[in-house]
Structure 1
């Protein structure tokens, strides 16, 4: 893969073979985020589990103290009083069965997170083929299937993010923007890694945190010293 001049210049700022502590890594990643837009800072966490086994799945959600810097659009599937509750809490879109054809047939996907009350999961389930591959299906583990729609919406708007393993047993999540202070990014990262360590499955054997890398959207990855994290 051919790398641009900015990337190559940034890569000269650090030792690719070294492992850094969180504060040093955050400082380097911020310095290397030199794109003309406010780059997202992401954590890429490889775990020593096999996600193909149900008892080794790692999935959950955590509220980052400083949010992600991104405006999140929330869609809530509910009925009765819960519709007004969700709206009052700041949901961008609320509705029920009438939204199914809009999503299924018209390809409407102007939202980032879907919340549903348990009694609406039969309706939402019909959208599994559309929402599933995009990672938008509500899930009780992530707190997006709940009767307390107001809390779910407020948490998401405040910076709640979902984390889960991909097919290669890596978790990819944003921890903020390059415009955040180093302290904000460190606090967000520590909150996230704390939640992932707490979510360690009992069936996981050996080293749990295999590798942790921080990177900005366009910048190179900086490896963290995992021994100092667990």
Structure 2
């Protein structure tokens, strides 16, 4: 409707264009005029204000070529959760892994394969370390929550030289206990006189990583708590007890390992734990692997899905990943509840 036609209509009804129209006629003249008697909501104003705010785009500086993420890295991430359940078995000795099921080796076969590659005619490392490489599902009990990375230590039934130097100091009022601790491998042991030497600086704690103590000396040991700091003995960490020799052996021979989340896939966990040397007996290596698998499975959240999704045996510098049937070794462990319970006191590693 043009302005002229609108003016004629108003003059016919007895109104002039400049005359104020009563608000009760707003509905009648809604095609011509709209009057709002309310203000905008506060949320509407906030939304409009946020739209006007400019988002600053941070400029990324020059990244050296050796620090840039390569294309093959993304391809590798897509295969982290690769499920080959629907793929056929390979009918030949050589096959493409993405088109066939991953071969599952027996523990003995996997060790023998690594011994062949580390033979003096190949890598020439017959005494190399054997690692159990774990792929873990870090999904927690609640949807949207993930299990955070953690550090644990496990005592293996068959010990080996793990290559780490762990100096331990032992405190006890009984000379015979100190002697047993020395025979077990303690670097320094003693009673009240040792505490006094530490206070005066005659004995340095710089090269000491761990400390164990007998309960009877704890009242005297409290004076150097500030010097020991996190090394101060406690029953929760397994460094305070009656048997000093057993605690020293446990610390020296325990295997420390860490479970971490993947950099770009936090729901995917990775862990690599040494289980022995290639020169060890296969049965001993297998017993160590079972102890490690059961210890890792103790961190399983309370959900029906498995925590450990894949276990492979590796032996650097060989890049071979030989998959083993980890579920077979965990079947005997299903009868007892190994799920993580946040209400119970969690075992604390002495390496934390």
Question: Structure 2-normalised TM-score?
Answer: 0.45
Partner of residue 192 from structure 1, selected from 275, 287, 292? 292
Q: In 1, distance between residues paired with 2:234 and 2:107?
A: 31
Higher RCO (CA < 8 A, seq sep 6+): 1
Counterpart position of 2:129? 40
The Cα of 1:164 is off from its aligned counterpart by: 4.3
Partner of residue 174 from structure 1, selected from 274, 282, 285? 274
Partner of residue 208 from structure 1, selected from 304, 307, 322? 307
Partner of residue 76 from structure 1, selected from 169, 172, 177? 169
Q: Which structure 2 residues correspond to residues 36-115 of structure 1 after superposition, within 5 A?
A: 36-37=124-125, 38-49=127-138, 50-52=146-148, 59-62=152-155, 64-70=156-162, 73-81=166-174, 82-94=177-189, 98=198, 102-104=204-206, 108=207, 114-115=210-211
Counterpart position of 2:73? none
Structure 1 portions without partners, runs of 5+: 2-12, 132-136
Counterpart position of 1:218? 317
Counterpart position of 2:17? none
The Cα of 1:209 is off from its aligned counterpart by: 0.8
CA 1:175 to 1:164, structure 2 compared with 1: closer, same or farther past 3 Å? closer
Q: Relative to structure 2, which stretch is displaced further, 165-174 or 138-147?
A: 138-147
SS in 1 for 2:112: helix
Question: Structure 1-normalised TM-score?
Answer: 0.63
Q: In 2, distance between residues paired with 1:155 and 1:149?
A: 10
- 8 Å CA contact 2:255, 2:274 repeated in 1: no
- 8 Å CA contact 1:51, 1:167 repeated in 2: no
Structure 2 portions without partners, runs of 5+: 1-65, 67-92, 139-145, 262-268, 331-352
CA 1:127 to 1:68, structure 2 compared with 1: closer, same or farther past 3 Å? same
Larger CA Rg, structure 1 vs 2 = 2
- 8 Å CA contact 2:111, 2:278 repeated in 1: no
**How many residues align structurally?**
200
Q: Which structure 2 residues correspond to residues 102-181 of structure 1 after superposition, within 5 A?
A: 102-104=204-206, 108=207, 114-117=210-213, 119=218, 123=224, 126=227, 143-155=238-250, 160-168=253-261, 169-181=269-281
- 8 Å CA contact 2:169, 2:189 repeated in 1: yes
Aligned-residue Cα RMSD (Å) equals 4.0
- List, as ranges, runs of 4+ consecutive aligned residues in structure 1 with deviation greater than 6 Å: 13-16
SS in 1 for 2:254: strand
Q: In 1, distance between residues paired with 2:103 and 2:282?
A: 20
Q: In 2, distance between residues paired with 1:86 and 1:14?
A: 54
SS in 2 for 1:186: helix
Q: In 2, distance between residues paired with 1:58 and 1:193?
A: 14
